[in-house]
């Protein structure tokens, strides 16, 4: 227990460290930390960059508020989301893919009393959410099949997709249109539109507008989609920007956002 708390505290102060640095920060032997971090990784408390060996806080730590929004991607999202809020005044979220779930990495809330109620660190089934659909649409077909083949695809509100064939059609539509939607699938009375962040083949996050159905009209939707696409495009790193790509990829793997 002391070692676990030491790792959490060390990574909360500084978001990445290999075993040698963790040992210096905590005073715990590397052999002990290797075992502890292995268990914490399996349980979703930390993740490891296999190229550098650095450990970082992962999604369970995010869900408990142990990590801070130090990522350039999250900071850029928060600035850009303010502009989108000024345009439409609807809750805007930054979402990332974690296995077969989408994780709320950051959000900016509407001033309306009727709104999406969720917290950073919570999750939704990726196949059912607009954000998950644009993220899955960028994944290889074999990865999607590995995740969902033979599984019942029932949304949180009880709608059952007609298996992998319907999911493939939805993902094909997201690739074609450049965005995805869900209506009454993750919550009754909620219409979500999501746009991918990153160029094709390198999409690692999604930006989502979450709108109560009572405030959504055909006219509002037509205005929201291009504004959302523009906002998500502003967050994508330029092609060849390896530092920005690494930051985006670290978010996608569930590290400290």
Note every long-range contact of 104-107, with CB atoms under 8 Å and residues 24 or more positions apart, other chains counting: 105/62, 105/74, 105/77, 105/205, 105/251, 105/257, 106/69, 106/74, 106/77, 106/78, 106/81, 106/257, 107/81
Residue spans per domain, the chain: 2-57, 72-252
- In this predicted structure, what is the pLDDT of residue 243? 38
Tens of pLDDT along 54-99?
Answer: 887 765 565 555 444 456 788 889 999 999 999 999 999 999 888 8
Neighbouring residues of 182: CB distance < 8 A, sequence distance ≥ 6: 128, 129, 130, 133, 155, 191, 192
Q: Considering the entire predicted model, what is its pTM?
A: 0.71
Fold of 2-57: Arc Repressor Mutant, subunit A (1.10.10)
Q: Under DSSP, is residue 6 helix (H, G, I), strand (E, B) or coil?
A: helix
**Domain 72-252, CATH class in plain words:** alpha beta
Tens of pLDDT along 14-40?
Answer: 667 889 989 888 889 888 998 888 888
């Amino acid at each position: 227990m002391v070692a676990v708390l030491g790792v959490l505290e060390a990574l909360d102060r500084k978001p990445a460290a290999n075993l040698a640095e963790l040992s210096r920060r905590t005073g715990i032997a590397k052999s002990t930390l290797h075992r502890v971090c292995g268990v914490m990784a399996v349980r979703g408390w930390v993740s490891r960059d296999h190229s550098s060996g650095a450990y970082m806080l992962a999604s369970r730590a995010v869900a408990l508020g142990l990590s801070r929004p130090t990522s350039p991607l999250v900071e850029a999202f928060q600035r850009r989301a303010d502009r989108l809020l000024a345009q439409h005044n609807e809750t805007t979220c930054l979402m990332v893919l974690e296995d077969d779930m989408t994780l709320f990495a950051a959000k900016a809330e509407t001033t309306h009393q009727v709104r999406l109620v969720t917290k950073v660190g919570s999750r939704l089934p990726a196949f059912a959410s607009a954000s998950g659909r644009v993220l899955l649409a960028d994944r290889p077909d074999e990865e999607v099949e590995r995740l969902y083949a033979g599984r019942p695809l029932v949304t949180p509100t009880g709608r059952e997709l007609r298996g992998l064939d319907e999911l493939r059609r939805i993902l094909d539509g997201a690739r074609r249109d450049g965005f995805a939607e869900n209506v009454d699938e993750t919550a009754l009375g909620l219409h979500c539109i999501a746009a991918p962040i990153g160029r094709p083949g390198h999409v690692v996050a999604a930006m989502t507008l979450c709108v109560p159905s009572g405030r959504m009209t055909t006219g509002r939707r037509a205005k929201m989609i291009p504004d959302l696409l523009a906002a998500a495009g502003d967050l994508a790193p330029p092609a060849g920007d390896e530092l920005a790509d690494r930051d985006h990829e670290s978010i996608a793997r569930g590290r400290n956002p």
